[in-house]
Structure 1
Amino acid sequence: MNTKTMIRWSGALIVALLSISGCSQKKSSGIGAQSAPAGTEFVVDNPDLAAKLQLSNVMQKRENNFLVVQAQLASLYDFEQKLQYQFRWFDEAGFQVEKDKSAWRALKLHGKQTVTLQSTAPTKKAQHFTIYVREILDK
């Protein structure tokens, strides 16, 4: 078993043990309600990856009535991660707007690196957003 596989299994085991003991925190977001504007969500495609990432300093503003979002994504992991991220935009009623206009963007995140993610809504109707992150697995 190589080192990368051992680290993944160790992380999964720790998460499983914490879940069984009732001490785990919900890791689907990495951000707390206190640190993000209302309507912000951070979704990671699996718990192992979620444990390696943290979203912080989420800010938003309006430029020419378009919602502009900026957030810091930090790696809590010692090794490189190949990721993709996507902003999804929603109107006041919670309906996704311009869903075909939000492309997945590649991101190589080095060990313990922090990067700034920024995006502008594709329409003035956007009021809320969700940031999705998924891992690109080597084949």
Structure 2
Amino acid sequence: MKRDCYSLLALVLIAFLAGCDSVNTVEPANPKAEPNLIAIQKVETDPALARKVSVQNVNEGKAGDLIRVQVELENMNYGPEDFNYQFTWVEKDGFEVQSPPALWKPGFILGRERIYLSGIAPNPRVVDFRLKLLARETYNATVGGGHGPRR
């Protein structure tokens, strides 16, 4: 009876430890996609978030006649991070597009995770973009005033 109890305990422990293993990501050894990677300087991050989350890649492409952007972020810490982000779009003459207004969106990234933020230009006159990333605390203290996203 005692041996059966130890066997059952060992089986439960093995099952528990297997459940704590990290998720494996599988991708082709020779991916066919060729990203159009661009300068990371188009992304602004506040110092509080920059110590925890880093920009890995910025990919720009087209969706019809609109600019499409994808930014890859990596959480360098083991704990989750809350943040806010905003894409702003710039026309050929250098002016920021005001309609529709750029909205701040909430974001969340788990510890040691990589995620993608995507945006599509609001009109075909857009030729450039900027992405602003703020730690949730910085956002609440400056932009949001503790009342959630603002335009």
Matched residues in 2 for 1:38 and 1:73: separation? Answer: 14
Matched residues in 2 for 1:125 and 1:56: separation? Answer: 28
Query: What's the CA shift for 1:119?
Result: 0.8
Matched residues in 1 for 2:40 and 2:128: separation? Answer: 5
Task: Classify 1:61/1:36 alpha carbon distance in 2 versus 1 (closer, same or farther; 3 Å).
Answer: closer
In the alignment, which residue of structure 2 is the partner of 1:43? 44
Structure 2: tracts of 5 or more residues without a match: 1-35, 141-145, 147-151
SS at match of 2:48: helix
Matched residues in 2 for 1:54 and 1:112: separation? Answer: 11
| 1:29-68 aligned within 5 A | 36-37=37-38, 41-45=42-46, 47-68=47-68
SS at match of 1:106: strand
Query: What's the CA shift for 1:100?
Result: 4.5
In the alignment, which residue of structure 2 is the partner of 1:9? none
Letter in 2 for 1:52: K
Matched residues in 2 for 1:75 and 1:67: separation? Answer: 26
Moved beyond 4 Å, runs of 4+: none
Q: Deviations over 1:88-114 (max 9, x none)?
A: 111123211136532111111111111
Letter in 2 for 1:62: K
Instruction: Report the identity percentage.
Output: 23
For the pair shown, which has the larger CA radius of gyration, 1 or 2? Answer: 2
In the alignment, which residue of structure 2 is the partner of 1:96? 96
Task: Tell me the TM-score normalised to structure 2 length.
Answer: 0.60
Letter in 2 for 1:67: I
1:72 aligns with 2:72: yes
Letter in 1 for 2:113: Q
Query: What's the CA shift for 1:40?
Result: 5.2
Letter in 2 for 1:105: K
Letter in 2 for 1:60: E
Task: Classify 1:63/1:136 alpha carbon distance in 2 versus 1 (closer, same or farther; 3 Å).
Answer: same
Query: What's the CA shift for 1:73?
Result: 0.9
The number of residues matched between the two structures is 104
Structure 1: tracts of 5 or more residues without a match: 1-34
1:107 aligns with 2:92: no
Letter in 1 for 2:115: V
Task: Tell me the TM-score normalised to structure 1 length.
Answer: 0.65
